[in-house]
Chain A
Amino acid sequence: MIASQWVWLAVAFPLAGFLVNGALALRRAPATTAVSIVGPGVLLAAFAVSLGIFFGLLRDPPHQPHMVPLWSWMPVGSLDVTLAFQVDQLSTVMLLVVTGVGSLIHLFSVGYMREDPGYARYFAYLNLFVVFMLVLVLGSNLPTLFIGWEGVGLCSYLLIGFWFSEKANADAGKKAFIMNRIGDFGVLAAMFLLWRELGTLEFADIAARAPAGLAPGGAIVTLITLFLFLGCTGKSAQIPLYTWLPDAMAGPTPVSALIHAATMVTAGVYLVARTNVLFAMAPLSSALVAGVGAVTALFAATIALRQYDIKKVLAYSTVSQLGYMFLGVGSAAFAGGIFHLVTHAFFKALLFLGAGSVIHAMHHAYHATHSHEDAQDMRNMGGLRQHMPVTFWLMTIATLAIAGIPPFSGFFSKDEILASAFARGAEMPVYYVFYAFGLAAALLTAFYMARLIAMTFLGDNRSGAEERRHLYEAPWIMTGPLLVLGILSVIGGVINLPVFAGGHHALEGWLEPVTAAGAAFARVELPHGSTELALVGGAVLVGAVGLLLGYRATLTRKTPPAREAPADTGLALVLNRKYYVDEIYDAAVVRPLVWLSRVVLWKGVDQGLIDGAAVNGSARVSRGFGWLGSRLQTGQVGVYVVFFLVGALWILRAMIR
């Protein structure tokens, strides 16, 4: 057991790792062994610290968070922003997920990235990401959280563009950062409002002062939560700011697993849970959160149906699953949202790492035969089960989990979210619609996951006869972490087993001190008895049907390899091209803005109006006056005499008056 005061150690270890790996990255000579030890080593150390703190908390659960102030950051008059951590039930859960899943992904990376020339740089970024992620979840006030919030965005930017020589990768990184910045604008605006209304940016003080300081359901609290949620849509890839996440797959696959599935993208869900009192006081905002979540869940799932890149399927799946989490926290099921966050971290990290293992194998096979085929296109795979059985079985487990098949972890967490949305429908009927969306998304989820497994692992192999002989299972350093995640994906549900399964909602009880402030305004009463069983039965049925349909639809049709595949048409094309949202954004926002800046503002206003007309114009005018003056100076005495006389007469006249 470790006292909460030592929580900074969990941040200090990865920070030290960043510094060491960063220094190694700047050396010309590679230091593969040192990096392989330091990179994952500091994460394991941070995980050990986190475990120690968790057990300390478990023995004596606090009602108030343990505050760990580091130093005074921005003291200005009554504003005193301290760089401070807080240890409570919620931050501990996040701490365990980030360092635990993070450790596994760091270990996997040793196998996956070992041969990359940027190996040390990779681990430097990855360690730095963990530093910022921990600052995000540990920060005791919004500005400290914001350091982490933007810091993870920075690391995401650096890691998406890790192979920066490809313009597409650098583009994707930049897009992610800028779209996140749009969201960050919302977080900033929310901070300004909170400071004006409540005079504090500390989470504990917000929870204490908001009930008295803000009118429940009023315009102010609604505005604050809407601004906060804007930040969440950016960070957690929800409509309308989701388009960066699929592009983010340009980064190395373990990065997708850690940042773009398990941890960073769930920060928005964490933020809503952390400020639960505000969202509970703003039913309109909460409905919007749930609505955006439900629509995103369904919308992204439809796109996932027609993607061929294995990572793109998982990316849209992540967008969709994040939608579920927002449906949960928007239905006042704050613990439910966090529950799905945790189980999703297990099974989605497993899916991504599994995909990484597949891509790794495909890439090596194509490399061995000097083929330039796409190693991520599922149409080039098929039948991989024979070649990589461990990966196959583990990914199948994850698929069952995400499809919501009992008793896998995803079943319990997804079920709780759907039940919460349904329960909220009693107060606000629109939640029934959200529930229906969630259920429909569950069907599609099962479908596209079954399609992924079938296209990748089942049927005949389409990689090519020569390549087939080079397909191998990944080494133990990669399959080991997969195995651990597989176990967690199976049993992860135990942390919050419902009553009908013999549990007592342990996670919900654990988080009670954090969610209590919100529960005073909005509390979700999960359905009991026959309603509950009907909901559960319906959800399971939908998942099972989806899996079956996806499996059959994929295997009954012949899938040609990518280069022979006919072009998609009709609806399939629209889905494959992601409803053309990127193109629409580009045409409606990006191009007009650049045009406005270049043609109107720069060429027009700056060079034309201000410089051309006003500045150089006044220069021309004064030159004109100078020319006039020089004309007067003719050198002819007669002209001067006339001027003199006119002047003298004028003065004389003035004097006489």
Chain B
Amino acid sequence: MTEFLDSIGYGQWILHALVLLPLLGVVPVLLGPESSAKWTALTVTTLELVLSAGLWWALDPSRGTLQLVSTTPWIPTWGISYRVGLDGISLVMVLLTTLMLPISVLGSWRSITKQERGFYAMMLTLLTGLVGVFLALDLFVFYIFFEVMLIPMYFIIGVWGGTNRLYAAIKFFIYTMAGSLLMLVAIVALVWRIQVVTGLTSFSYDHVLQHAGAAGPLAPWLFAAFALAFAIKVPIFPFHTWLPDAHVEAPTAGSVLLAAVMLKIGTYGFLRFAVPFFPQVALSPAVSRIVVVLAVIGIIYGALVAMVQPDIKKLVAYSSVSHLGFVMLGIWAGTLQSVQGSLMVMISHGFSTGALFLLIGMIYERRHTRLIADYGGIARVVPLFSLIFTVVALSSIGLPGLNGFVGEFLVLLGSFAAFPLATVLATTGVIFAAAYLLWALQRMIYNRLDNPENERLTDLNGRELAIMAPLLAGIVWLGLYPAPVLRRMEPAAQRYIQLTRPSHEAAPVAVTGSAARVRP
């Protein structure tokens, strides 16, 4: 495979192609007839998925450095260049994104009936933004992509959403915007400080990473700005209240992409930028304590609030707050097991929660209600749906053998040495997760079939099974044999730890294969 990829020069063009292809796809979507918009979108996103698959082999799994790096000068006077590249962490995030897009398009197949061209154009723009965010190695470019994905999602919720869509869309937009503007200020300030020290104006990730120590006394403020932007995105308690509203109002595809991919940008931001730039601030006892406490609150609070939601979409939204708490705990514990666990939770949550939202969308299309109380006993009528719903719920509960367990287990195992009490408290999350999902499961698909409207439900059709099949395969595969994924990510996780742990500072760490990290 590697030889084949080399022979077509895959490494040279693939990252640019992945960013540009969806954007180019917008043109035929907008110019073509309304009825063919979804077909075009499906073609483009599937092509993107196929193209991106080669990254699995193109990445040298033995190195933790950023690879396939490509730099194109853009605004030389401000030291801004279009710089992209990836390591094991971005690799899995990009693959998760490119997998979720065709699935989301198929999931919108029947439910999106108005302004289809606009919708699918937004989906493709969103794809560019998402892929770009995970590939960007220039802070300015990262910021641009960060905003690029915000706008299509705003429209997806605001135009194609539910009844209260405008409130949700504006809440989502302002929340995220508030964070990202602060981040922009922080980026500029950081680059300016580094310019003062080194005499070089550059938004290049490597340059900033190398000289981030120049922030000096500003470091706590800059970290706070980055952290706030990402904390809102994750979301960390108490910055999470935009999420339930956004999920409930968003169309299925919006919910899927929001949960499966966009939330991960927050945790990715911590892993890639916020913590490596300012490790002394981020991992100081005071900040660590705050983050870990908020993470544990998120895990338990999210689960408890999820338990009492009458709306199944809100339930899943709050469960995300709970799951992402594990990711934060693992990142801050900073052991190889906990960081790898965090990455696995990010992937697994994408599969499980993505699948849950798709299933909810499918049943919503039939019954037009998201209220748990409106269902009950439907396992008799829709056995396939019920079977798949059960399996996905169990994966979200963290049943060993399915994907959810691996990440949670590794996070907790790895965090215990650093934060024993917090880890034990976080572990109680596994009890509450079982409580809220099994209770919802029972009220929806078990019990007596007492609502006559549910008697005529039709079971999943071929298209819907085709949507679920890859996700189910991933749920089982990642649960039983996550080793290949773990091995791909390990060098990058290792490098994150070296960048952030003072004890490892003595050893020079390669950044994109060349420079060593120096802290003034």
Q: Do A and B bind each other?
A: yes
CB within 8 Å of B: which residues of A?
Answer: 26, 71-79, 83, 143, 146-147, 149-151, 154, 157, 161, 164-167, 170-171, 173-174, 177-178, 181-182, 184-185, 188-189, 191-193, 195-196, 593-594, 596-598, 601-602, 605-606, 610-611, 614-615, 619
B 231-258 binary contact with A (CB < 8 Å = 1; else 0): 0000000100110000000000000000
Q: Contact check: which of B305, B430, B494 meets A184 at CB < 8 Å?
A: B430
**CB <8 Å contact, A73 and B481:** yes
Does any Cβ of A come within 8 Å of B30's Cβ? Answer: no
Does A606 lie within 8 Å of B435, measured CB to CB? no
A178 neighbours in B (Cβ, 8 Å)? 431, 434-435, 438
- Residues A174 and B337 in contact, CB atoms below 8 Å apart: no
Q: Are A615 and B304 in contact (CB under 8 A)?
A: no
Contact of A165 (CB < 8 Å), options: B171, B434, B449:
B449
| Interface members, chain B 381-423 (any A CB < 8 Å) | 383-384, 387, 394, 399-401, 406, 409-410, 412-414, 416-417, 423
Question: Quick check: A76 and B486 within 8 Å, CB to CB?
Answer: yes
Closest chain B CB from A476 CB (angstroms): 33
**Cβ of A627 to closest chain B Cβ, rounded Å:** 18
Q: Which residues of A contact B449 (CB under 8 A)?
A: 165
Determine the distance from Cα of A76 to Cα of B487 in the docked complex, in whole angstroms: 8
Let me know if A195 and B413 touch, CB within 8 A. Answer: yes
Instruction: Sample 24 A-B pairs with CB under 8 A, ordered by A number.
Output: A26-B383, A26-B384, A73-B480, A74-B410, A75-B487, A76-B486, A77-B340, A146-B400, A151-B400, A161-B442, A165-B377, A170-B446, A174-B439, A178-B431, A181-B435, A185-B428, A188-B412, A191-B413, A195-B413, A594-B307, A594-B308, A598-B308, A602-B305, A615-B241
Among A75, A79, A181, A191, max chain B CB count under 10 A is at A181
Most chain-A CB neighbours within 10 Å: which of B304, B340, B400?
B400
Contact status A76-B490, CB under 8 Å: yes
**In the complex, what distance in Å separates the CA atom of A170 from the CA atom of B487?**
41
Does B500 count as interface, using CB distance less than 8 angstroms? Answer: no
Chain B 467-506 interface mask (CB, 8 Å, partner A; 1/0): 0000000000000111100110010001000000000000
Closest to A132 in B: B401
Q: Which residues of B contact A184 (CB under 8 A)?
A: 430
Chain A neighbourhood of B379, CB < 8 A: 164
What chain B residues lie within 8 Å of A165 (beta carbons)? 377, 380, 446-449
Q: B427: CB under 8 A from chain A? A: yes
B515 at the interface (CB under 8 A from A): no
List the B side residues contacting A593 at CB < 8 Å: 304
Q: Nearest chain-B residue to A619 (Cβ)?
A: B174
Q: Which residue of B lies closest to A191 (CB)?
A: B413
Q: Which of B171, B305, B337, B480 has the most C-beta atoms of chain A within 10 angstroms of its own C-beta?
A: B305
Residue B373 lies at the interface, judged by CB distance under 8 Å to chain A: no
A150-B438 Cα distance, complex, nearest whole Å: 14
Residues of B near A619 (CB, < 8 A) are: 174
Q: A167–B434 contact, CB under 8 A?
A: no
| Distance A171 CA – B438 CA, assembled complex (angstroms) | 10
Q: Say how far B196's CB is from chain A's closest CB, in angstroms.
A: 27
Closest partner residue, chain B, to A169 (CB atom): B446
B380 touches A192 (CB 8 A): no
**Residues of B contacting A195 in the complex (Cβ-Cβ under 8 angstroms):** 413, 416
B142 at the interface (CB under 8 A from A): no
B416 touches A151 (CB 8 A): no
Closest A residue, CB atoms, query B339: A76
Q: Evaluate whether A610 and B447 lie within 8 angstroms (CB atoms) in the complex, with A73-B480, A73-B483, A164-B379 already known.
A: no
**B336 contacts chain A at the CB level, 8 A cutoff:** yes
**Least Cβ distance of B384 to chain A in Å?**
7
Structural contact, B305 and A76, CB atoms closer than 8 A: no
Residue of B238, B380, B427, B483 touching A71 (CB-CB under 8 A)? B483
* B448, A181: Cβ atoms closer than 8 Å: no
Residue contact A181 to B446, C-beta cutoff 8 Å = no
Secondary structure at the A interface, as helix, strand, loop or mixed, is helix
Task: Determine which residue in B387, B423, B447, B490 has the highest number of CB atoms from chain A within 10 A of its CB, and name it.
Answer: B447
With contact pairs A26-B387, A73-B481 given, residues A188 and B308 touching in the complex (Cβ less than 8 Å)? no
Question: Can you name the residue of chain A whose Cβ is closest to the Cβ of B449?
Answer: A165
The CA of A241 and the CA of B336, in the complex, are separated in Å by 35
B424 touches which of A189, A596, A597 (Cβ 8 Å): A189
Q: Which of B110-132 contact A (CB under 8 A)?
A: none
Q: Give Cα distance in the complex from A164 to B387, angstroms.
A: 13
Contact: B487 with A181, CB < 8 Å?
Answer: no
Given A74-B410, A75-B486, A189-B424, A174 contacting B416 (CB threshold 8 A): no
Report whether B308 and A79 are in contact in the complex, using a CB–CB cutoff of 8 Å.
no
> What is the CA–CA distance of A469 and B424 in the complex, to the nearest angstrom?
60
Kindly list chain A residues whose C-beta atoms are within 8 Å of the C-beta of B238. Answer: 610, 614
Q: In the complex the two chains form, what is the Cα distance from A157 to B305 in whole Å?
A: 24
Other A-B pairs, 4, CB within 8 Å; known A74-B482, A74-B483? A164-B446, A185-B428, A191-B413, A601-B305
Q: Across the interface, do B380 and A77 meet the contact criterion of CB distance under 8 Å?
A: no
User: Are the CB atoms of A196 and B431 closer together than 8 Å?
Assistant: no
Which residues of A are found within 8 Å of B414, using beta-carbon distances? 76
Q: Which residue of B lies closest to A164 (CB)?
A: B446
Is residue B140 within 8 Å, beta carbon to beta carbon, of the partner chain?
no
Residues from chain A with a CB closer than 8 A to the CB of B394 are: 154
What A residues does B435 contact at CB under 8 A? 178, 181
Partner among B241, B412, B430 whose Cβ is within 8 Å of the Cβ of A611: B241
A596 to B435, CA, bound (A): 15
Establish whether residues A610 and B431, one from each chain, have CB atoms under 8 Å apart when the complex forms.
no
Q: Are A193 and B400 in contact (CB under 8 A)?
A: no
- Which residue from A74, A171, A192, A614 sits with its C-beta under 8 Å from B406? A74
Separation of A164 and B483 alpha carbons in the complex (Å): 37
Q: Are A79 and B447 also in contact (CB < 8 A) when A611-B241, A615-B241 are?
A: no
Please tell me if the beta carbons of B423 and A192 are within 8 angstroms of each other in the complex. Answer: yes
Is B380 in contact with A174, judged by CB distance below 8 angstroms? no
B297 CB to nearest chain A CB (Å): 10
Return the contact of B337 from the options A76, A149, A167 (Cβ within 8 A).
A76
Q: Tell me the bound Cα distance from A185 to B408 in angstroms.
A: 12
8 shortest interchain CB distances as A-B pairs = A192-B416, A164-B446, A598-B308, A597-B304, A77-B336, A170-B446, A181-B434, A147-B400
Interface string of B152-181 (1 = CB under 8 A from A): 000000000000000000010011000000
Name the distance in Å between B159's Cβ and chain A's nearest Cβ.
22
> B374 to chain A: closest CB distance in Å?
16
Q: A197 CA to B86 CA in the complex, in Å?
A: 36
Q: Which of A73, A76, A606 has the most CB of B within 10 A?
A: A76
Flag if B438 contacts A76 (CB, 8 Å).
no
Q: Are B486 and A143 in contact (CB under 8 A)?
A: no
- Write out the residue numbers on chain A whose beta carbons fall within 8 Å of the beta carbon of B413: 79, 191-192, 195
A404–B399 Cα distance when bound, in Å, is: 40
**Chain B residues within 8 Å of A166, by CB:** 448
Quick check: A610 and B241 within 8 Å, CB to CB?
A: yes
A150 to B174, CA, bound (A): 43
Residues of B within 8 A of A146 (CB): 400
Q: Are B400 and A143 in contact (CB under 8 A)?
A: yes
Cα(A164)–Cα(B444), bound, Å: 12
A616 to chain B, nearest CB (A): 9
Residue of A nearest to B341 (CB): A76
Question: From A147, which residue of chain B is reached at the shortest CB distance?
Answer: B400
- Within the assembled complex, what's the spacing in Å between the Cα atoms of A71 and B337? 19
Q: Which residues of B contact A189 (CB under 8 A)?
A: 424, 427
**Given A71-B481, A74-B410, A165-B448, also A177-B423 (CB < 8 A):** no
In whole angstroms, what is the CA distance A161 to B448 when docked?
12
Determine the chain B residues whose CB is within 8 A of the CB of A177 once the complex forms.
Answer: 434, 438
B490 adjacent to A196 (CB under 8 Å): no
**Does A76 lie within 8 Å of B410, measured CB to CB?**
yes
Supposing A26-B383, A188-B412 touch, asked if A597 and B305 sit within 8 A by C-beta, the answer is yes
Q: Within the complex, which residue of B241, B380, B384, B387 is in contact with A606, where a contact is CB–CB below 8 Å?
A: B241
A149 contact set on B, CB distance < 8 A? 400
Q: A74: which of B308, B309, B446, B486 is its contact (CB, 8 Å)?
A: B486
Closest-by-CB residue of B relative to A28 is B383
Question: B438 contacts A174, CB within 8 Å?
Answer: yes
Q: Determine whether the beta carbon of B409 is less than 8 Å from that of A77.
A: no
The chain B residue with its CB closest to the CB of A593 is B304
